Amino acid sequence: MRAVDLIEKKVQNQELSTEEITFLIHGFIAGTIPDYQMSALQMAILFNGMTDRETYDLTMEMMRSGEIIDLSSVRGIKVDKHSTGGVGDTTTLVIAPLVAACGGTIAKMSGRGLGHTGGTLDKLESIPGTRVEMPLHKFAETVNKIGVAVIGQSDRLVPADKKMYALRDVTATVRSIPLIVSSIMSKKLAAGTDAIVLDVKVGSGAFMRNLEEARKLSRRMVTIGRRNGKKVVAVITDMNQPLGMAVGNALEVREAVEMLSGRIPEGDPLYEVCMLLGSYMLMLSELASEPESARQKLKEALESGKGLEKLQQMISAQGGDPSFLSMDRIDELCEVKEIRPIYSEAEGYIASIDTEKIGSAAQMLGAGRAKKDDRIDPAVGLVMKKRLGEYVRRDEPLCMMYINNPEKAEAAVIEFLEAFTFSNEKPPVEPVVYDIIGE
């Protein structure tokens, strides 16, 4: 078999056999298939797609490229939640402790920020002392003791994805459905949990730009998870604006603490997405039988302060200082040289927000990495002051920017302002949740 013939086959839009996919992944990991051939193959997959069978085979082969985590020493139904990547999406920091406070078992392996999207590990590390690396036995022990731990994926988990993603990131091949499905599900299957709630984002800040694509992505992930004996539900949620108001690492931790302190009202998009994802996590954990009773449980854990307490316990177990995680001290994590209001250049209703640009603006301030080895500045980012459909006057700020490096701020301000379009008429309000796949 030769890689070039298999690339040609995909260019001709033909189906690759199981053996051919195995050959490609093995060869790539072994180094006999070079980066340029894998890049070309991924580009052909982006254009011509893959059948369900090919996507399944690719996922399984990628999963087998590394370590399969054994979490059998963790008691109970282990449930995970995974987002396809968004902006201002601090849901994990809210629902992991909230679901644990309701009796759920969360042994979660998270990722770092990718491109314009944020990553849970970077947010956790903005809390002084917090470690996201932990030996597996300690991870299992922590989850058995307090019900929750969130750590980084080890380098041994799906090395094929690490190498393939690094190429996708620089060859404009991230947004391919079979490549996203296999990237996410190979890691989820290798990570050893029993149940997974997928948060599939759709909109201007997500890899999926329309609902039909998001449904297709969701159905494929649910099918692959179930074929491997996992309980899986996918929720399709809106990413046509940042989910919460905060975009940036410590700023998103602060918003999670606000939510867990009861400062964010019902009906708010962040509140509603947290409740929905949390509800399905409780149902898959067999701790609730339908969405209403699950939501009630989560509300009780929120209002009693048990959710916030659980987040503090989790951070403490991971070496962090939990005293920052209260409304009294949380502002200390967000201290920067300058907090600058960014004023609207136009007047009118906000008609659209290019959410990817909002994420990029935060990244430019230092909240994300442009290159893999860049250091993140935990305190910088932005806090939105307006949402889609709101009326803005010229003298009203669209956001507050948290700046440590004024030189970086100029480009970030331009990027941020370019994200908005305005209209004289009030645009219709879009839903926060579009669909649930696999109920």
- Point out which residues bind ligand URA (CB under 6 A): 84-85, 111, 174, 179-180, 183-184, 207
For position 83 contacting Ca ion by CB under 5 A, the verdict is yes
Contact 273, 87 (CB under 8 A): no
Of Ca ion, ligand URA, none, which one sits near residue 74, judging by CB under 5 to 8 A according to partner kind? none
- Number of C-beta neighbours around residue 188 at 10 A: 24
CA torsion 267-426-116-195 (nearest 10°) is 30
Q: Would you say 307 or 359 has its CB closer to ligand URA?
A: 359
Of ligand URA, Ca ion, none, which one sits near residue 83, judging by CB under 5 to 8 A according to partner kind? Ca ion
- Number of C-beta neighbours around residue 72 at 10 A: 9
- Residue 196, SS3? strand
User: CB of 123: closest distance to Ca ion in angstroms?
Assistant: 9
Cβ-proximal residue to ligand URA, closest one: 183
Of ligand URA, Ca ion, none, which one sits near residue 183, judging by CB under 5 to 8 A according to partner kind? ligand URA
Angle of CA points 93, 94, 97, to nearest 5°: 85
Segment 180-199, which members bind Ca ion (CB under 5 A)?
Answer: none
Token reading at 180: 């996203």
Q: Would you say 110 or 223 has its CB closer to ligand URA?
A: 110
- Number of C-beta neighbours around residue 286 at 10 A: 13
Of ligand URA, Ca ion, none, which one sits near residue 180, judging by CB under 5 to 8 A according to partner kind? ligand URA
Residue 275 host element (H or E): helix 269-284
User: CB of 275: closest distance to Ca ion in angstroms?
Assistant: 18
User: CB of 117: closest distance to Ca ion in angstroms?
Assistant: 6
Q: Would you say 228 or 404 has its CB closer to ligand URA?
A: 228
- Number of C-beta neighbours around residue 71 at 10 A: 17
Q: What's the CA gap between 84 and 183, in Å, rounded?
A: 10
Q: What's the CA gap between 148 and 152, in Å, rounded?
A: 14
Q: Would you say 46 or 259 has its CB closer to ligand URA?
A: 46
Contact 254, 400 (CB under 8 A): no
Q: Would you say 111 or 278 has its CB closer to ligand URA?
A: 111
User: CB of 117: closest distance to ligand URA in angstroms?
Assistant: 8
Q: What's the CA gap between 358 and 420, in Å, rounded?
A: 9
User: CB of 351: closest distance to ligand URA in angstroms?
Assistant: 28
Catalytic positions, please? 82, 161, 168, 183, 187
Give me the residues that bind Ca ion (CB under 5 A), please: 83, 89
